[in-house]
Amino acid sequence: QQQVKQSPQSLIVQKGGIPIINCAYENTAFDYFPWYQQFPGKGPALLIAIRPDVSEKKEGRFTISFNKSAKQFSLHIMDSQPGDSATYFCAASKEAAGNKLTFGGGTRVLVKP
Amino acid sequence: DSGVTQTPKHLITATGQRVTLRCSPRSGDLSVYWYQQSLDQGLQFLIQYYNGEERAKGNILERFSAQQFPDLHSELNLSSLELGDSALYFCASSVGSSSGNTIYFGEGSWLTVV
């Protein structure tokens, strides 16, 4: 049972473009939605996170948009750089399950110079 | 560097064997998690410990077991290994155990079963 669905699986943009990654969840009990960035050979690292009572959050060039009624959230990478080339994972957790993260399938982003 | 240390980084073992993966959490973190990452299953939660006690269990096989010791380091034991157990195993840690606590991942232990 895939509780968090992520799309697309891969994305190629030119430098300066805005990659957009979308996630949809099923369980309305989820109350925390982080995004993780993973480089080859490294572990995932927290990029930005949002709670469902907020519709948008920005940290630097990264923005999360959250639509509670549609049970969807997305990551936008503004002014993307080649160094942003990585795999991005959305995730969700709920208080009743402790801090267990349910991850989406991941999106491999390539930013061309 | 997340501060989470995992050993070994790579290991190759034969089917039917048993291995132990070790994890030292970030200083001050009481919660430890184990995740498995594979191409077909993605990132899957296995188990969580908080201050020595099991806190949550995910898709962990009965052949797998884990524990967290009084010094807060953790070990994941994988036994009767099968080819399909080949994956990247991540340990992660956080200060608390409730939803929203930032989880920091180690660099993983690559397990290849031949």
Nearest-neighbour CA in chain B from A38: distance (Å): 10
pLDDT value at residue A2: 61
Q: How far is CA B34 from the centre of its chain?
A: 3
* pLDDT tens per residue across span B12-57: 999 999 999 999 999 999 999 999 999 888 899 999 999 999 999 9
pLDDT value at residue B100: 84
Whether cis (ω within 30° of 0) applies to the bond prior to A8 is yes
What residues of chain A have any CB closer than 8 angstroms to a CB in chain B? 31-32, 34, 36, 41-46, 49, 51, 89, 93-95, 97-106
Nearest-neighbour CA in chain B from A106: distance (Å): 8
Q: β-strands A107-112, A10-14: how paired? A: parallel
Chain B hits for A45, CB-CB cut-off 8 Å, are 2, 104-105
pLDDT tier at B98, thresholds 50, 70, 90: confident
Q: Give the C-alpha distances (Å, rounded to integers) separating B22 from A53, A56, A92, A106.
A: 38, 38, 26, 26
- Are the C-beta atoms of B19 and B78 separated by less than 8 Å? yes
Which one, of B64, B110, B53, B63, lies nearest residue B87 by Cα?
Answer: B110
pLDDT value at residue A1: 52
Is A89 close to B43, i.e. CB distance below 8 A?
yes
Residue B54 φ then ψ, to 5°: -65, 130
- Are the C-beta atoms of A46 and A62 separated by less than 8 Å? no
Q: Which residues of chain A have pLDDT under 50?
A: none
pLDDT tier at B92, thresholds 50, 70, 90: very high
If you measure CA to CA, which chain A residue comes closest to B46? A100
Is A46 close to B104, i.e. CB distance below 8 A?
yes
As a whole number of angstroms, the distance between CA A45 and CA A36 comes to 5
Query: Is some CB atom of chain A closer than 8 A to the CB atom of B28?
Result: no
Is A102 close to B31, i.e. CB distance below 8 A?
no
Cα torsion B74, B79, B84, B90 to 10°: value is 10
Q: Is B7 helix (H, G, I), strand (E, B) or coil?
A: strand
* DSSP category for residue A93: B
Query: Hey, which residues does B110 pair with through a beta bridge?
Result: B10, B88
